[in-house]
A = this chain, B = another copy of it.
Amino acid sequence: MSGILQALREQQHHMNPKEQILAQFILEHAHEAVHLSITELAGRSGTSAATVSRFCRSLLFKSYGDFRMKLAAELVQPVSAKPSYQDIVAGNTLHSIAQAIETNHLRSISDTTRQLDLTEVQRAVDALHDARRIDLYGMATSGMVAYDCQQKLVRIGKMAQHWADSHMQITSATSLGEGDVAFAFSYSGETPETLDALLCAKERGATTISLTKFGANRISQLADIRLYASSLEEGMRRGDMASRIAQLHVVDILFTALLSLHFDDYVPLLEQSFQEVKKYRKEKGR
């Protein structure tokens, strides 16, 4: 079980009463729900159309239609087609560990791709392309993803910075402005340091992009452009491993799209930086 239904299950208990009822109905009758109009769904679940509409948008879908389509896409994949996420416990054999991690990573990549909103990707690509300066925020594991993204952007001549230090993140955010981009990475979407930096950047007029786990969270709520990476089930140990892979996967798609859409601008730079590294080594006597 993954994605939308998973997010519903996790967030159900933090919802308003009627929204909980609605979430419960959808969880129990998902296959039926996707065929219902908003009014029908409201009727069947004992709520109102207004509540359903608000519900979808509070889960950060663009509309009820958007929600319904993404749910439908999620439901077509028969559960049997792919093994689901597996947790890791003490005393497993090496083989079962490798197997479980493989399953988690594969799943997390395909879930992420499936739920990727290409319109948002396009917007992110455009924002990055047009950006004067790019700031990347992320702590711990997500800091790594931010760093990876920075490396890629620098290689194509973008002015991109990542600060592992949370004070420097804020300091840097303070000097952003219109035409700049602030890109926040956070598995939970609630990391305070990352949130602060993004908020600061937004207040200065920078375009904000978020890459968080699926579902409503404070960081993506703040962002102009919202990207999501699949999350493991709540309570799963070390969910950040799969999440980090999924986030990198999204970064790869972004970067490749950026390259592909502006091939002539960037590819020569990339080639050049590769050659220069080689040349520099030769000069040192290799």
Contacting pair A97 B260 (CB below 8 A):
yes
A236 touches B (CB below 8 Å): no
Among the 9-residue stretches A11-19, A42-50, A248-256, the one with 4 or more Cβ atoms under 8 Å from chain B is: A248-256
CB within 8 Å of B: which A67-94 residues:
68-69, 72-82, 88-92, 94
CA A116 to CA B102, docked complex, whole Å: 11
Select which of B147, B192, B267, B286 is within 8 A of A281 by beta carbon: B192
Closest to A116 in B: B98
CA A286 to CA B74, docked complex, whole Å: 36
CA A90 to CA B267, docked complex, whole Å: 10
Contacting pair A94 B257 (CB below 8 A):
yes
CA A249 to CA B253, docked complex, whole Å: 18
Contacting pair A94 B109 (CB below 8 A):
no
A31 touches B (CB below 8 Å): yes
Per-residue B-contact encoding for A103-131, CB less than 8 Å = 1, 0 else: 00110011001101011011000000000
Closest to A148 in B: B144
Contacting pair A248 B245 (CB below 8 A):
yes
Select which of B91, B106, B286 is within 8 A of A192 by beta carbon: B286
Assess A81 versus B80: contact at CB under 8 Å? Given A91-B263, A97-B256: yes
Closest to A31 in B: B118
Per-residue B-contact encoding for A128-159, CB less than 8 Å = 1, 0 else: 00000000000011001001100100000000
User: Residues of B contacting A94 with CB < 8 Å?
Assistant: 118, 121-122, 257
Select which of B82, B241, B249 is within 8 A of A101 by beta carbon: B249
Per-residue B-contact encoding for A217-259, CB less than 8 Å = 1, 0 else: 0000000000000000000001001001100110011011101
User: Residues of B contacting A110 with CB < 8 Å?
Assistant: 79, 102, 106
5 cross-chain pairs, A with B, having the tightest CB-CB distances, nearest first: A90-B263, A102-B113, A73-B76, A94-B118, A241-B252
- Residues of chain A having any CB pair with chain B under 8 Å: 31-32, 34-35, 65, 68-69, 72-82, 88-92, 94-95, 97-102, 105-106, 109-110, 113-114, 116, 118-119, 121-122, 140-141, 144, 147-148, 151, 192, 238, 241, 244-245, 248-249, 252-253, 255-257, 259-261, 263-264, 267, 281, 286
5 A–B contacts, CB within 8 A, in A order? A101-B252, A102-B249, A192-B281, A241-B256, A245-B252
